Structure 1
Amino acid sequence: MTQLSRRSLLSSSALAACALPLPAFAKPAQGPAKANLFIGTGGHGHTYPGPTLPFGMVQLGPDTDVERWDACSGYHRTDTSIMGFSHTHLSGTGIGDMLDVLVVPTRGPVKLLPGTLAAPETGYRQRFSDEVAEPGYYAVTLESGVRSELTVTERTGWHRHHFPKGPGHILVDLSHLIHDSSDNPPLVTDATLTVGADGSLSGGRTVHRWAKGRRIFFAMQASRAPDRITLYGDDDAQQPAGSRGVAGKRLKAVLHYDDAGAAPILLRCGISGVDVAGARRNLAAEAPHWDFDRTRRAAQDLWASHLDAVQVTGGTLDQRTIMASALYHAQLAPTLFSDVDGRYVGLDRKVHQLAAGERAYSTYSTWDTYRALHPLLTLVAPDRVRSLVGDLIRQTQQSAYGPPVWPLQGVETGTMIGWHSVPILAEAQAKGIPGDYAAAWPAIARRSFDWSAPDLDNSKGRDLYDRMGYVPADKWFESVSRTQEYAYDDWAAAHLARAAGQGAAADRLFQRSGNWRNVIDGKIGFARPRFADGSWWTPYDPIQLGHMPKPWWRDYTEANGWQATFLNQHDVYGLIAQMGGDAKFEAKLDALFTAPSTLPANAPPDISGLVGQYAHGNEPDQHAPYLYAYVGAPWKTQAMVRRLCTEMYRNDPDGIIGNDDCGQMSAWFVLSALGFYPVDPVEAVYVFGSPLFERASVRLGGGRTLTVEAPGNGPETPYIRAVRWNGKPWTKSWIRHADLAQGGTLSFLMGAQPNRAFGRAKADRPPSNGRMAV
């Protein structure tokens, strides 16, 4: 289904959804549900179906395209040919990179270029059939007759290729990457390939794609020695027979087998961000045998233990499959980035050594994941969060820019705005996750107060924000979103300052966290661009993305005036007051969900999944459906959340309405389907929505279990009639993380009609900015 038709489908009245019965579904069918790894591989989901381990370093899988945006992960379900299998992928991102060390098992004449989607026969691309994708395993039949199987350990990729009888070869393409090009400057430099005395192949390269200057190394072994190996240098120049190494920019190797079908050919490939020696050590430690099936079982068993963290009954089989798949996608990133010996590359581009038991990570999409992914992990994987906290603190200390923004394999990409690793740390600190938070404070302080500290695009205008109270729209692009998101980071940093004993800095940050007010024009009730002279942009149109025609000079980050109006997460009661009180705020929320779903021609494709002007396919206002609880109308939250859970997610390749963004879209579903969501993660509370299932069992840390019950729940019962916590009546429309994390039973009585009294009293509304409704 196209994006346009889905927008049309989802643009009907939010109030109608509240008042009328929701769409009927098939009668709930019980039975086991397995993760469908193809969810998100179509449409704009940008996921990949290949095997990896939870938060693993290797993401091995098939690549079908490197040119278009919808193939950011290297794979799109609509493509009809496979280029080969590379060892690193990004899941759900809106920018492409990685795809390191492509392996192409094939037959016939050696082809060194991939060819095109339209004419795969012009290169080494192959049409394919019979794909199988399961957590920890992937298999496919290529048109050459090769049946390829893939599995992984944390740091190694395993291949098993079954060739037909006769000759065949395996191409290793070290020039393969997203948007491969030989433009100047080259996207790959400092590449090497070496054939070892034992017949192994190793090498590395520096990649200048998204993460400029990213280094990756590998060491590969084959179960059967090839009859010969041919190396190719730049311009596909074949090296002399017997060559043991080659250096350049676009390198390839071909392993030739005179009878490739005599027995399956297994490959084991270790990778490292440090050096070839690290890749070899990773390979030796994690691949001491050649038993592919043993490795596959270990991978699948590990995934089973992680996916058992949330078990649900009720709903439809499709809904349970979506839940398992969302939980899978929510445990792919951040990704491991330290070798077995504890070495890793920091954001200072230097090699560091970890203490025993510590791990380094990469692939933090913080602008997206601080909202729901990291809060989900604090519930189901608190030990992992403790490890991530230690890593983020180290990266904060090592980076020239302070708190990480979007770090990818030792490189700070600076993508998006703000410095949202600070909310991740502040949330963990508020929830009692152990960590040396004070060690991160000096670098956080530099980002917050030192205007001479180096800037990336994410932090432009900090000095004006501090001096004027907002980022002027005639000085910096995306000024409205910057002001609001800098304010949220100030709110989070203030908590860390207080914990570090920096009272004066905390007071300054708390005060500055109110700067969001300076870009909310209360007279018209919208987030509005403001110029350096204090004037507002006129004539104002909330549909537009900015006051200048050039799309790069937008006033909002992947949003427009409608969506940015509700960006505030940490001072909801201040926002309500700024908009004129409860009634006006509730009416404005209604208007958000019922406005025409039109966007300007220069809107980025990220703004997707529209219900009115609410965009579920992108992150800025994914908490907005829960804001009704703050004006005492949580029944409207319940109706909208149920609608989003059932309309925005499907058991289909085009089953995620926007980029999954390293698991954020998936984590939103997991938490919302359980019945609660963290509007402000740093506040460490959850606002109730509408549980999707009749029962859920959530495995918490320390052997504790949270049980969520909603007996008789179904498609016609989206509304909460009453709540009980551990058997006692619960009148609040929210609950603290500290309560849920202890384990217990949260019981919802659901109904077809709303209980408008539930959560109506001001004493029962969620806290915000450390205070209750007044």
Structure 2
Amino acid sequence: MISRRRFLERSAAVCAASALPMDKFVYAASGEAKTEDPLRWVDPRIGTGGHGHCYPGAALPFGMVQLSPDTFNDGWDWCSGYHVSDSSIMGFSHTHLSGTGCGDLLDFLVMAGTGTAHIVPGDRSNPDGGYRSRFDHADERTEPGYYSVVLKDYKVRAELTATERTGLHRYTFPANDKSYLILDLQHGYGPDAGPCDSAELRLVAPDTLAGGRRTSAWGKNRHAYFTLKVSKRPERIVFYSDDKEVPAPASGEDLKGKNLKCVLYFTTKANERVLVKTGISGVDADGAAKNLAAEAPGWEFDKVRTTARETWRRQISKIQVASANEDHKRIFYTALYHLSLGPTLFDDVDGRYRGMDNQVHTLPAGQHSFSTFSLWDTFRAAHPTFTLIEPERVPLFMNALIRMAEQSPEGMPVWPLMSTETGTMTGYHSAAVISEACSKGFTGIDYEKAYGLMMKRAMVDDFRGLGYYRKLHYIPADKEGESVSKTFEYCYDDWSIAHVARKLGKSDDAAMLAKRSTNYRNYYDKSVGFMRPKLEDGSWTTPFRPIDMGHSKKWRDYTESNAWQTTFGVQHDPAGLIELCGGREAFVTKLDGLFTAPSDLPEDAPPDIAGLVGQYAHGNEPSHHIAYLYVYAGAPHKTQARVRSLLETMYAAKPDGMQGNEDVGQMSAWYILSSLGFYPVDPVSGNYILGSPLFESATIDLGHGKKLELVVERKDPSHQYIQSFSLNGKEQPKVWFHHSDIAEGGKLVFTMGPEPNPSFGADASVAPPSLSLS
């Protein structure tokens, strides 16, 4: 199992202005304002500082291209290629990861300049030593689907926009007889400018370049291809291999190597614009050319930008919230923007895609391939949010995962990235998201095929301790790293598969898997009150401190967590966990202790354990459901207070606005759902647990003309405690509801007050279900 955290935490300066003003209203044909334009609240700079790992550039919802500036390409805080603390830019590449904890991509960097062209990027400490340029954040403009900046050293303005599979650049040059564009195929993420295994570059026409490369940064043997056109014919093109000038390749031939670059020279007049458009593909350069011809046939930059803006307006308008608090709206709508950046499209317009077997396949009509599934993170809240606002995409995502499981030598997807299995993190939560779709009744998905693939992993595969899990009902800490967390993850995957088994009428399998999903209980040591690692002989590990990552230096026993967080890492059986801890009162006391314990961590703790409140770590996903566990113990008012506190303290409308990296939408999804007033502790069950709504009202577009309306009745925005709750016009004694209650549309009404209502949701008879397949 590959750890996704490969670099030490680094300090980062926090700067950058808030989002620039955009149109305040969407206008009707009459010119009258209809509704507030939610795009005015989106600030792509949120998450580009601290440890957010977000990029500020241009992309479309779930698009293949993410055209964005790169300020550096190594180190943990530069996994997206950009950090707000930097003051110089290397150039603009076409693929980026949104908020991940490992770095990769940054394919096909283009940089503009004037004068004598450098062919290396140079160091941040000395931008003059390479082609990078200084810039000011005051000169940046960011909005969904568009980015611009002034390259101060060259007096060139760079503008970027995108379609799904193409990136469009517009460079405004000064008068200069040595204006140029650099194309760098070596540039990528990692030391020494990226681990490029091989590349090829050819001149297709006087204004057209094409080629591709294979890299092995995070994803091993990853393929990426491009076709690039310029709007002005270069006066000359100089090619480089290993940073030495070489003859231009003959017509129809490729220049091959590991470090390929070229410089395109122009004479420009003052304020002359030169455009670049690039199609990309995971299949071949011909596929990239087809993508370019289909999606960006002309040179109409402003039209593409406008189309991108309208596409984002439709996407962001899927949830409308009302509040007088502008920071809350800025955080919310930016979170919805970040959520919509992944998974990413990974097929060409002709239906071809590169599979997990590294072979080229053709999709069935109407289907798409996708990449960048951060499943260990996103199964918790991002995919549940998609089941609300992306009903048409959910089957596409699931079918893509099923094809991956069929084609991959690794079996069920864990963390797939562009036809490669990174193997990052524990569990195999493609099973969880497919099972959630099944449980919620999504059609157009081959659940029989998925079930066979999931059962092979659960019952047959010799995969990361699963043999011990099946034989001993736990994984020994002396035989397998991260044994406790792996067991917990396998328990949830068993629970997930049990739902599909039940749906398919395989009741014996469902019962077996549901029972096996309680294996987590074998780690509870009553004498210390924590989930504690066990050795193969059944004895507990020593020494034991609940803040430690593991019992020895050989490996960790927990995945990016410790015994404090993992003890509460039970999403499908809170009632069983409560019983282990001695009942409701003892459990509430223990859970209070998590939030009030000293925030001490050992020296070997990963930087992901961030956003600490006691030992609760909001910056890392295993903690995300924990504040909602009070509801299962009859103390929902404690959930309400804690969730409101986390909403107010863990997110901010500034670059350093996330307590932890974004992880392809999961940090944002927690905010989106929690601010609406509910959260899926156990996503596969389809149950949503009430928290504390942040907004005064909201409307969720469920697709196909269905709406979910949320109304919050309170006298003061600070009132955080639910006094009563009604669902579709009927007052509820319980503090949860099921997806089926609102799947066809509905109305939730929260009546709030300044103090807890101690009787609301306190009785055990109205607790959310635990370990229930009904």
Q: Shared topology, TM-score over 0.5?
A: yes
* Residue matched to 1:20: none
Cα offset, 1:356, TM superposition:
1.3
Cα offset, 1:506, TM superposition:
2.8
Alpha-carbon distance between aligned partners in 2 of 1:327 and 1:149, rounded to the nearest angstrom: 24
Cα offset, 1:258, TM superposition:
2.0
Cα offset, 1:304, TM superposition:
0.1
Cα offset, 1:48, TM superposition:
0.3
1:173-184 alignment runs, 5 A limit: 173-181=184-192
1:208-247 alignment runs, 5 A limit: 208-233=216-241, 235-240=242-247, 245-247=254-256
Alpha-carbon contact 2:431-2:493 (below 8 Å) kept: yes
Structure 1 segments of 4+ aligned residues over 6 angstroms from their partners: 2-6
Deviations along 1:155-178, one digit per CA (max 9) or x if unpaired, are: 000001000111310000000011
1:143-542 alignment runs, 5 A limit: 143=152, 144-167=154-177, 168-181=179-192, 187-233=195-241, 235-240=242-247, 245-259=254-268, 261=270, 263-434=272-443, 435-452=445-462, 459-542=463-546
SS in 2 for 1:264: strand
Deviations along 1:502-529, one digit per CA (max 9) or x if unpaired, are: 4443333222111111112233221101
Alpha-carbon distance between aligned partners in 1 of 2:269 and 2:255, rounded to the nearest angstrom: 25
Cα offset, 1:589, TM superposition:
0.4
Alpha-carbon contact 1:231-1:243 (below 8 Å) kept: no
Q: Alpha carbons of 1:556 and 1:35: their partners in 2 closer, same or farther (altered >3 Å)?
A: same
Alpha-carbon distance between aligned partners in 1 of 2:239 and 2:506, rounded to the nearest angstrom: 59
Q: Alpha carbons of 1:450 and 1:294: their partners in 2 closer, same or farther (altered >3 Å)?
A: same
1:133 aligns with 2:142: yes
Alpha-carbon distance between aligned partners in 1 of 2:77 and 2:9, rounded to the nearest angstrom: 12
Alpha-carbon distance between aligned partners in 2 of 1:631 and 1:320, rounded to the nearest angstrom: 32
Alpha-carbon distance between aligned partners in 1 of 2:715 and 2:346, rounded to the nearest angstrom: 43
Alpha-carbon contact 2:172-2:271 (below 8 Å) kept: no
Cα offset, 1:5, TM superposition:
12
Alpha-carbon distance between aligned partners in 2 of 1:31 and 1:220, rounded to the nearest angstrom: 34
SS in 2 for 1:620: helix
Q: Alpha carbons of 1:217 and 1:3: their partners in 2 closer, same or farther (altered >3 Å)?
A: closer
* Residue matched to 1:44: 51
Cα offset, 1:580, TM superposition:
0.9
Q: Alpha carbons of 1:3 and 1:95: their partners in 2 closer, same or farther (altered >3 Å)?
A: closer
Alpha-carbon distance between aligned partners in 2 of 1:31 and 1:346, rounded to the nearest angstrom: 39
Deviations along 1:646-679, one digit per CA (max 9) or x if unpaired, are: 1000000000110100000000000000000000
* Residue matched to 1:666: 668
1:701-720 alignment runs, 5 A limit: 701-712=703-714, 714-720=716-722
* Residue matched to 1:586: 588
1:217 alignment partner AA: Y
Alpha-carbon contact 2:532-2:563 (below 8 Å) kept: yes
Q: Alpha carbons of 1:131 and 1:611: their partners in 2 closer, same or farther (altered >3 Å)?
A: same
Cα offset, 1:315, TM superposition:
4.4
Q: How many residues align?
A: 736
Alpha-carbon contact 1:406-1:414 (below 8 Å) kept: yes
Cα offset, 1:501, TM superposition:
4.1
Alpha-carbon distance between aligned partners in 2 of 1:400 and 1:4, rounded to the nearest angstrom: 36
Alpha-carbon distance between aligned partners in 2 of 1:534 and 1:574, rounded to the nearest angstrom: 21
Alpha-carbon contact 1:131-1:138 (below 8 Å) kept: yes
Q: Alpha carbons of 1:241 and 1:560: their partners in 2 closer, same or farther (altered >3 Å)?
A: closer
TM-score of the pair, normalised by structure 2: 0.93
Deviates more, 1:397-406 or 1:600-609: 397-406
Alpha-carbon distance between aligned partners in 1 of 2:624 and 2:751, rounded to the nearest angstrom: 25
* Residue matched to 2:96: 89
Alpha-carbon distance between aligned partners in 2 of 1:569 and 1:722, rounded to the nearest angstrom: 25
1:721-760 alignment runs, 5 A limit: 721-760=723-762
Q: Alpha carbons of 1:76 and 1:529: their partners in 2 closer, same or farther (altered >3 Å)?
A: same
Alpha-carbon distance between aligned partners in 1 of 2:713 and 2:47, rounded to the nearest angstrom: 31
Deviations along 1:710-740, one digit per CA (max 9) or x if unpaired, are: 1336442111111122222112100111112
Q: Find 1:617's aligned residue among 605, 616, 619.
A: 619
Alpha-carbon distance between aligned partners in 2 of 1:87 and 1:5, rounded to the nearest angstrom: 27
SS in 2 for 1:425: helix
1:512-661 alignment runs, 5 A limit: 512-550=516-554, 553-661=555-663
1:406 alignment partner AA: W
Alpha-carbon distance between aligned partners in 2 of 1:310 and 1:125, rounded to the nearest angstrom: 40
SS in 1 for 2:433: helix
Alpha-carbon distance between aligned partners in 1 of 2:189 and 2:227, rounded to the nearest angstrom: 22
Alpha-carbon distance between aligned partners in 1 of 2:654 and 2:303, rounded to the nearest angstrom: 30
1:670-685 alignment runs, 5 A limit: 670-685=672-687
Deviations along 1:342-381, one digit per CA (max 9) or x if unpaired, are: 1111111111111111100000000000000000010011
Cα offset, 1:338, TM superposition:
0.6
Alpha-carbon contact 1:315-1:714 (below 8 Å) kept: no
Alpha-carbon distance between aligned partners in 2 of 1:520 and 1:561, rounded to the nearest angstrom: 10
Cα offset, 1:189, TM superposition:
2.1
Alpha-carbon distance between aligned partners in 1 of 2:715 and 2:706, rounded to the nearest angstrom: 25
Alpha-carbon distance between aligned partners in 1 of 2:752 and 2:515, rounded to the nearest angstrom: 41
Alpha-carbon distance between aligned partners in 2 of 1:149 and 1:42, rounded to the nearest angstrom: 22
* Residue matched to 1:9: none
Q: Alpha carbons of 1:743 and 1:463: their partners in 2 closer, same or farther (altered >3 Å)?
A: same
Q: Alpha carbons of 1:216 and 1:261: their partners in 2 closer, same or farther (altered >3 Å)?
A: farther
Deviates more, 1:408-417 or 1:718-727: 718-727
SS in 2 for 1:210: coil
Alpha-carbon distance between aligned partners in 2 of 1:558 and 1:297, rounded to the nearest angstrom: 42
Cα offset, 1:128, TM superposition:
1.0
SS in 2 for 1:480: helix
The percentage of counterpart residues that share the same residue type is 51
Alpha-carbon contact 1:393-1:437 (below 8 Å) kept: no
Alpha-carbon distance between aligned partners in 2 of 1:752 and 1:506, rounded to the nearest angstrom: 44
Cα offset, 1:76, TM superposition:
0.3
Cα offset, 1:199, TM superposition:
2.6
Cα offset, 1:218, TM superposition:
0.1
Cα offset, 1:575, TM superposition:
0.8
Deviations along 1:520-550, one digit per CA (max 9) or x if unpaired, are: 2233221101101111123321011100034
Deviates more, 1:330-339 or 1:495-504: 495-504
Deviates more, 1:251-260 or 1:503-512: 503-512
Alpha-carbon contact 1:3-1:608 (below 8 Å) kept: no
Q: Which runs of 5+ in 1 are unaligned?
A: 7-29, 453-458
Q: Alpha carbons of 1:101 and 1:328: their partners in 2 closer, same or farther (altered >3 Å)?
A: same
Alpha-carbon distance between aligned partners in 1 of 2:296 and 2:588, rounded to the nearest angstrom: 58
Q: Alpha carbons of 1:714 and 1:376: their partners in 2 closer, same or farther (altered >3 Å)?
A: farther
Deviates more, 1:150-159 or 1:756-765: 756-765
Q: Alpha carbons of 1:77 and 1:5: their partners in 2 closer, same or farther (altered >3 Å)?
A: closer
Alpha-carbon contact 2:696-2:712 (below 8 Å) kept: yes
Cα offset, 1:762, TM superposition:
1.6
Deviates more, 1:39-48 or 1:189-198: 189-198
TM-score of the pair, normalised by structure 1: 0.93
1:682-693 alignment runs, 5 A limit: 682-693=684-695
1:761 aligns with 2:769: no
SS in 1 for 2:176: coil
Cα offset, 1:709, TM superposition:
1.0
